[in-house]
Structure 1
């Protein structure tokens, strides 16, 4: 039984590490060359927004995997990183590779969210729960662009290839290939 658990942890750590490298390749290193730790570190030192992605992914990896018993240290480091970039992203949030925050201040994300690949988020976006007892997940698909000061609340699903305009209030499911904007009420139309 212990060997089975140990093997399961090895596989889990392998996929977590593979995900970490994929995220760092798309968000920090960028380009078509294969992933390289020295290049990723150099680019993280050189550019402040890439530095955020680098440390966010590194500390989130250690928080999730608790590798080398660094889970508590990683949580503390993530809080410090959030404060320095004026964001509040819960380390339990599952965010796919290619994640991009255009302007950092005011971005708030709860832990019960799953965001797909290549998400673009602008300043002032809140992705959260309706209240403290809301247990569901907010699921956001691949290639979703979220405009500034948008509020996404509740246990909802947003499809792939969706564009959400500025100052939208989203509390309903959104189908794939849609544009969402708020005039006086939420409006959803096909692209």
Structure 2
């Protein structure tokens, strides 16, 4: 777990090619607000998962405060690989039963959640996945590696590797009294080259 913590801190806070150093990491965390989020997110997550020094309850409390400060709701039980990048923090929700691979890019308003309170399986997201703004990934599903999910997409089925997924929306104008005209959103899958 400690090696995973240092890999995450190097990729998300320290950045660059130099080897990991707590001094460089702390300097970067103090200097940049977004890197400060990743620093505390990883430290509190590590203490929560390992219960190091009996600090699980304290780490959960600090994680809750961090989530409130940055307008996110990321469960400390979620397993997220190194290289996480949240482009805009507000509205990001990630359930505890999530496994997200390396180099994930998440934009504002993304929800990775369960269908209902009895959903106990995992939402598995592969490496190098980019998730567009206000997208929802719902349920016990698997998303492959190198997937791009377009903005405003609803994903509730498995997605294979090297795929681009987006909602194909259309705008329908209708009179206020006309209830016959309804617009449905469909999801298209295409293989990336």
TM over 0.5: same fold? yes
1:73 matched residue in structure 2: 58
Among residues 72, 76, 86, which one is paired with 1:87 in the alignment?
Answer: 72
Among residues 141, 144, 156, which one is paired with 2:126 in the alignment?
Answer: 141
1:189 matched residue in structure 2: 190
Alignment of 1:113-128 (within 5 A): 113-128=98-113
Alignment of 1:1-191 (within 5 A): 16-183=1-168, 184-191=185-192
Paired with 2:115 and 2:56, the residues of 1 have a C-alpha distance of 28
Post-superposition Cα deviations, 1:47-86, rounded to whole Å, max 9, x if no partner, equal 0000000000000000000001111000000000000000
In structure 1, the residue corresponding to 2:73 is in which secondary structure?
Answer: strand
- Structure number with the higher helix fraction is 1
How far does residue 186 in structure 1 lie from its aligned partner after superposition? Answer: 1.2
Paired with 1:78 and 1:65, the residues of 2 have a C-alpha distance of 14
Post-superposition Cα deviations, 1:5-30, rounded to whole Å, max 9, x if no partner, equal xxxxxxxxxxx000000000000000
Name the count of aligned residue pairs.
Answer: 176
CA RMSD of aligned residues (A): 0.4
Bigger-Rg structure (1/2)? 2
How far does residue 188 in structure 1 lie from its aligned partner after superposition? Answer: 0.7
Paired with 1:153 and 1:186, the residues of 2 have a C-alpha distance of 14
Runs ≥4 residues deviating over 6 A: none
Post-superposition Cα deviations, 1:163-189, rounded to whole Å, max 9, x if no partner, equal 000000000000000000001211111
Paired with 2:161 and 2:21, the residues of 1 have a C-alpha distance of 34
How far does residue 112 in structure 1 lie from its aligned partner after superposition? Answer: 0.3
How far does residue 139 in structure 1 lie from its aligned partner after superposition? Answer: 0.2
Paired with 1:186 and 1:158, the residues of 2 have a C-alpha distance of 15
